[in-house]
Amino acid sequence: MKLSLQLLLFAAAMITAQLGVTSNAHAQQISVTASADTTVYSNAVNNNGGGHSFGIAGIANNGNRRNMLLLFDLSGITPGATVSSARLDTNISQIGNAGGNFELYQIDTAWGEGNKTGNQGSAATAGEATWNEAAFGTTTWPTPGGTFFAPLLSNASITTVGVNSFSTTANFTTAVQAMVDDPAQNFGFLISSQSPNSAIRIGSREGGAAATLVVDFTPATVIKGDVDMDGDVDFSDIPAFIAVLQAGTFVAEADCDCSTVVDFGDIPAFIAILQGQ
């Protein structure tokens, strides 16, 4: 009985050693604070508020509109990961009147945060986002106030100060997945409102109260050595491995010694994995 158990443990150890080349995927959560945030103003169409100590979204009592734009660096989520949920936490510091319902959208155009300050910002300089332009002097928004993809990502009824969240939805998750899959197309989010007298102050990174994006994701399963990613490690991976080495790019499957870079140190590890097949 004892001997059988030892044999079983030995067999399990051998199997584990074989599986050791595969990184098991576990669900993870990451919280990312905004890397850029700014406000644009319908009554001051050439102003930027990217450096101000708070952002504003909603409609003021006089009918003036403000939209807040937010960008998040999602490079902490490994390429190939599957996003399962996303939530945006905002720090509301003031409710102008009664607040209202706020909508979150995915921006479709690159924009410049800018560094202007003031409760209605101040005159933008080159490259800064304004009501009329995504990048002042360079790129006009197709629709003033900022343009975004049609699907509503999430909405929130915000009537009290403190942390208010835009909860996860299928559209929100899909948008973040697209940003992870193609970082060059990650232009962040826009918060706006159609509610009268709804204007609110939203914490900015300059004010030390940046919004936070919370993302649940599962990293892609990586089979070390399977550089051509066809599901197994064999001789067809050799040219793929050499190509990655020559290109000097990071491919997790080629990082056979798990050093987080692909370099000559991976060659003996790659050969060892090949020989182990």
**Torsions phi, psi for 54 (to 5 deg):** -155, 155
Q: How many CB atoms lie under 10 A from the CB of residue 34?
A: 25
Window 39 to 78, contacts with Ca ion (CB under 5 A): 50
Contact between 253 and Ca ion (CB under 5 A)? no
Helix or strand or coil: residue 143? coil
Contact between 103 and Ca ion (CB under 5 A)? no
**Min separation Cβ 121 and Ca ion, Å:** 11
Cβ contact 38:113 at 8 Å:
yes
**Among residues 133, 139, 121, 112, which one has the least CA distance to residue 48?**
121
Q: Which is nearer to Ca ion, 172 or 270 (CB)?
A: 270
Contact between 128 and Ca ion (CB under 5 A)? no
Stretch that binds Ca ion, among 30-38, 93-101, 171-179, 180-188 (CB under 5 A): 30-38
- Which residue in 237, 252, 266, 273 binds Ca ion (CB under 5 A)? 237
Stretch that binds Ca ion, among 21-29, 116-124, 154-162, 204-212 (CB under 5 A): 204-212
**Torsions phi, psi for 113 (to 5 deg):** -60, -45
- Which residue in 103, 128, 133, 226 binds Ca ion (CB under 5 A)? 226
**Among residues 129, 214, 201, 113, which one has the least CA distance to residue 162?**
201
Binding positions for Ca ion, rule: CB under 5 A: 37, 50, 204, 206, 226, 228, 230, 237
